[in-house]
Amino acid sequence: MAWRQSVITGTGSCIPPWKVANEAFLGRTFFEGQGRPYPVAETGRIIAKFQEITEISERRYVTDDLVASDLAFEAAKEALASAAIDPETLDYLIVAHNFGDVGAVSRQPDQVPTLAARVKARLRIANPFCVAYDLPFGCPGWLQAMIQADYFLRSGDANRALVIGAETLSRVSDPFDRDSLIYADGAGAAVLEAQVHSEAVGIVSHAVRSDTLDHSGLLRMDRSFNPESGGEQLFIKMKGRKLYEYAIAHVPGVVQRSLERAGLTLEQVDKVLIHQANGKMDEAILKRLFKLYGIAEIPERIMPMTISWLGNSSVATVPTLLDLVMKGKLDGHSLASGNHVVFASVGAGMNINALVYRCP
């Protein structure tokens, strides 16, 4: 028996060219949450400790003339070219983000019209039945949009969807907060198509959880740590240690749930593409996942990483990582027919999702 399944047929990404190394922050004064400045002499130690914990040595920022929808548009064009399809044949165009278009000067989020509508217009798609909408879901937004698109495709409601993740976190991070060193900008995209196969390929299963009751405040918006910075602008803030503990405790279980739904074991997984949030945290999540299955030795090169040079670009990290792997741009990493890939992400909400994919 054959049935409709959702297969990735094209990918794209937009990595901003502006490289910002950790050394660029050596002259900056950081503040504690209580508004007290750290001694300038401590800045070098703060940055060194930050790199040790997160593994980030540089990140990418957009130039002043660009906003998130610009990055989304570039990633979309690349994904459509990769899939070699006519944009007019798209049934859905979904953009995952959390802050809209934030300009370099005003820093005010702009979300009307939606970023999806802006990208659709710039792609010159005239088809009125190509439904364009945005999805805010924290860092797991792109993966959640893929899950939604999979439902549309498998139900017969649609045949093709373009799913984009784009963010410019450099515009919403507090320059006086040490955590601002984590954040970066970027966009990634994938074309998902319905295909009929007699065996399970494409998106095989997924699992999602939202822990809002006790954990919704782990990532939030608040004023600058510098009491003299002035203005009413809000910046992204996080309770880093508690977020780390939450992720370690719960992400492995969601991945295990997605594998169980797929009827697979961890030994059958060839790659784990995880949200690039924090290098050490991602490694700890992977170790905890393997521990759930009683496996002591983790296979080499199972988890490709980009955080050391791209930083954390929220919804853009996973689709960008996928694009780089698919196009052979990460040394030692590739995908072949029959490979099983697990995607996973965690972020504001708090939300966690995981998706199992089998390469056709």
359 is catalytic: no
Say which of 130, 139, 278, 333 is annotated catalytic. 139
Residue-level pLDDT at 198: 86
Which 3 state secondary structure label does DSSP give 310? helix
340 is catalytic: no
β-pairing, 351-358 vs 131-135, is unpaired
Task: Give the closest residue to 22 by CA, choosing from 63, 61, 50.
Answer: 50
- Point out which residues pair with 102 in neighbouring strands: 109
Q: Domains in the chain, ordered, with CATH?
A: 3-197 (3.40.47.10), 202-358 (3.40.47.10)
Residue-level pLDDT at 50: 93
On whether the CB atoms of residues 120 and 82 are closer than 8 A, the answer is: no
Please state at what angle helix 317-326 crosses helix 141-155, rounded to 10 degrees: 70
Residue with tokens 């059958």: 268
Task: Give the closest residue to 145 by CA, choosing from 183, 180, 96.
Answer: 96
Residue-level pLDDT at 357: 98
Residue-level pLDDT at 20: 97
Please list the pLDDT of the chain residue by residue as tens digits (360 residues).
888 999 999 999 999 999 999 999 998 999 998 889 998 888 999 999 999 999 999 999 999 999 999 999 999 999 999 999 999 999 999 999 999 999 998 888 899 999 999 999 999 999 999 999 999 999 999 999 999 999 999 999 999 999 999 999 999 999 999 999 999 999 999 999 999 998 999 999 999 999 999 999 999 999 999 998 867 889 999 999 999 999 999 999 999 999 999 999 999 999 999 999 999 999 999 999 999 999 989 998 999 999 999 999 999 999 999 999 999 999 989 999 999 999 999 999 999 999 999 999
pLDDT tens profile 98-119: 999 999 988 888 999 999 999 9
Give φ, ψ of 287 to 5 degrees.
-60, -45
Which 3 state secondary structure label does DSSP give 311? coil
Residue-level pLDDT at 228: 87
Residue-level pLDDT at 34: 81
312 is catalytic: yes
Give, as one character, the DSSP assignment of residue 176. T
Give φ, ψ of 163 to 5 degrees.
-115, 120
Residue-level pLDDT at 75: 98
Say which of 312, 333, 340, 351 is annotated catalytic. 312
Residue-level pLDDT at 345: 98
**What is the rounded CA–CA span in Å between residue 13 and residue 187?**
6
